[in-house]
Amino acid sequence: QKEVEQDPGPLSVPEGAIVSLNCTYSNSAFQYFMWYRQYSRKGPELLMYTYSSGNKEDGRFTAQVDKSSKYISLFIRDSQPSDSATYLCAMSQGAQKLVFGQGTRLTINP
Amino acid sequence: DGGITQSPKYLFRKEGQNVTLSCEQNLNHDAMYWYRQDPGQGLRLIYYSQIVNDFQKGDIAEGYSVSREKKESFPLTVTSAQKNPTAFYLCASSQTGVNYGYTFGSGTRLTVV
């Protein structure tokens, strides 16, 4: 079993929809949770960063962490075609190396 | 602007050749990483280094080699022993002792011809 599981998709939704992306993990010691966005043929860029449990909002993006369920989510409101990308979850214990999910390929259709 | 520069963007390798991918950062980060990404797959760690003159194997180090002679530079050599080298290679860096995530380069696409 992988430490971090992420549905690879692909996921296709109409413009304006609310998108929910999720990861589950097995290591209860993970404390730092991140979401990266990767456009085709580019390097991933850090989108959201959360420490421990709770919610964090940045514009149309909300990251949620539920440590009791070992489950993290990224919500995208009012999705735009420019949000079409691969989204990778990542997490770590302390200052240890990041463990990445497989990535979910998302397409927003105009 | 601070960042990570990978070069070249595209690289073609003949069977049996060694090739070296360049990665340079000016973020003053101590740690640097090399990942391989194949279509539909996540990131797989090849090598990482947390300090100059020291590096560790990742999950798929066979057929690859690295050096870390300078803090700013972490080149990756894909040797002829790597049987399936066609992939997208990503370099990343981070601070040590704290966790603010990684900064990635823009990647090198390596193709065997």
Q: Which two tokens stand for residue A100?
A: 């990445």
User: Please, which pLDDT band fits residue B1 given cuts at 50, 70 and 90?
Assistant: low
User: Does B101 contact A45 at a Cβ distance shorter than 8 Å?
Assistant: no
CA B38 vs CA A9, A25, B7, B44: distances in Å: 15, 22, 19, 9
Q: Which two tokens stand for residue B25?
A: 């950062």
Put simply, whether B88 touches A (Cβ < 8 Å) is yes
Q: Does residue A21 carry a pLDDT above 90?
A: yes
- B4-30: pLDDT as tens digits: 999 999 999 898 899 999 999 999 999
Q: Does residue A91 carry a pLDDT above 90?
A: yes
For residue A44, cis peptide bond before it (omega within 30 degrees of 0): no
User: Does A43 contact B105 at a Cβ distance shorter than 8 Å?
Assistant: yes
Sort residue A15 into left (φ over 0), alpha (ψ -120 to 50) or beta: beta
Q: What is the pLDDT of residue A23?
A: 97
